[in-house]
């Protein structure tokens, strides 16, 4: 399935900048939408979702840092490339940017810029954004899968070995049990063998853990043992 191209909003009052960037990505790459003013940019932000912003810091109709703050609130994960004039006080500018943009990443490039450098910067920002989103999705999926697994009921047969030391002779006894539920750090069992509290157990071919200790056990009226195993 073909992936939709990334959407980039270029906000600059200089039409030459619009033309240069559009020509650089004429045949391939992200899809550029342009705005010549902050007001125009706000209207397009109402209609489209954007993956990256190119924002000039010399907009004439509104303070660009106010627009940056709006971008930060509406598109917190989208990186921003800020285009500043060469007469800018960068120490003061960086301090103001850091106070304005609280989320996501930003880059600073000086005008007039080399178009090849700008395109490399755009591609790197989009790559880093896509990688971050993919990693976050994998973490969320792994976390959800683990939570669902731990919260669900499990009924299956397992084989375990228990410490059956008697009169000083150490031995292990093979025991079949039914796994009834799994919780974070332990599991529940039903077996005909009378397991004892604090008794070590070892599981055969188990994905839950190789060894554990009986945390609690109780016998029912028909001599069925219910027990909880704790790992770690």
Domain locations in the chain?
7-147, 152-230
Q: Which fold has domain 152-230?
A: Thrombin, subunit H (2.40.10)
What is the residue-averaged pLDDT of the chain? 79
Instruction: Tell which wins on pLDDT, 194 or 26.
Output: 194
The answer to whether residues 10 and 16 touch, using CB atoms and an 8 Å cutoff, is no
Q: How far apart are CA 50 and CA 44, in angstroms?
A: 10
The answer to whether residues 67 and 96 touch, using CB atoms and an 8 Å cutoff, is no
Please tell me the predicted confidence (pLDDT) of residue 90. Answer: 67
Please tell me the predicted confidence (pLDDT) of residue 182. Answer: 65
The model's pLDDT over 129-178, given as tens digits with 9 standing for 90+, comes to 777 777 776 666 666 555 554 444 445 678 888 877 655 566 778 888 87
The answer to whether residues 148 and 128 touch, using CB atoms and an 8 Å cutoff, is no
Backbone angles phi, psi at 12, to 5 degrees: -160, 140
Q: How far apart are CA 72 and CA 103, in angstroms?
A: 6
Please tell me the predicted confidence (pLDDT) of residue 135. Answer: 72
Nearest in space to 133 (alpha carbons), one of 55, 207, 171, 78: 78
Backbone angles phi, psi at 69, to 5 degrees: -65, -40
Please tell me the predicted confidence (pLDDT) of residue 8. Answer: 92
Considering the domain 7-147, what is its CATH architecture? Answer: 3-Layer(aba) Sandwich (3.40)
Average pLDDT of the residues in 171-187: 75
Average pLDDT of the residues in 33-46: 92
Q: How far apart are CA 115 and CA 113, in angstroms?
A: 6
Please tell me the predicted confidence (pLDDT) of residue 40. Answer: 93
pLDDT of 124 strictly over 50: yes
Q: How far apart are CA 134 and CA 137, in angstroms?
A: 5
pLDDT grade for 1, boundaries at 50, 70 and 90: very low
What is the β-pairing status of strands 153-163 and 200-203?
Answer: antiparallel
Instruction: Tell which wins on pLDDT, 124 or 208.
Output: 124
Please tell me the predicted confidence (pLDDT) of residue 151. Answer: 46
The model's pLDDT over 52-90, given as tens digits with 9 standing for 90+, comes to 999 988 655 457 888 999 999 999 889 999 988 766 666
Q: Mean pLDDT highest for which of 39-48, 122-131, 164-173, 193-202?
A: 39-48
Backbone angles phi, psi at 87, to 5 degrees: -100, 15
């Amino acid at each position: 399935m073909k992936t939709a191209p990334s959407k980039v909003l270029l906000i600059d009052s200089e039409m030459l900048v619009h033309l240069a960037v559009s020509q650089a990505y004429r045949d391939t790459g992200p899809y550029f939408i342009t705005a010549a003013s902050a007001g125009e940019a706000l209207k397009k932000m109402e209609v489209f979702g954007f993956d990256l912003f190119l924002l000039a810091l010399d907009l004439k109709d509104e303070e660009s840092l106010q627009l940056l703050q709006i971008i930060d609130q509406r598109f917190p994960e989208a990186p921003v490339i800020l285009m500043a004039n060469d007469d800018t006080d960068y120490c003061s500018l960086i301090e103001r940017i850091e106070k304005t943009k609280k989320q996501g990443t930003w880059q600073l490039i000086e005008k007039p810029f080399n178009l090849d450098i700008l395109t490399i910067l755009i591609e790197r920002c989009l790559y880093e954004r896509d990688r971050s989103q993919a990693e976050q999705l994998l973490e969320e999926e792994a976390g959800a899968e683990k939570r669902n697994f731990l919260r669900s009921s499990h009924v299956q047969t397992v084989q375990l070995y228990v410490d059956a030391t008697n009169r000083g002779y150490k031995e292990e006894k093979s025991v079949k049990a039914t796994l009834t539920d799994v919780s974070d750090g332990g599991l529940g069992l039903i077996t005909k063998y009378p397991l004892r509290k604090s008794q070590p157990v070892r599981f055969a071919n188990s994905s839950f853990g190789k060894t554990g200790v009986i945390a609690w056990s109780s016998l029912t009226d028909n001599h069925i043992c219910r027990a909880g195993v704790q790992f770690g």
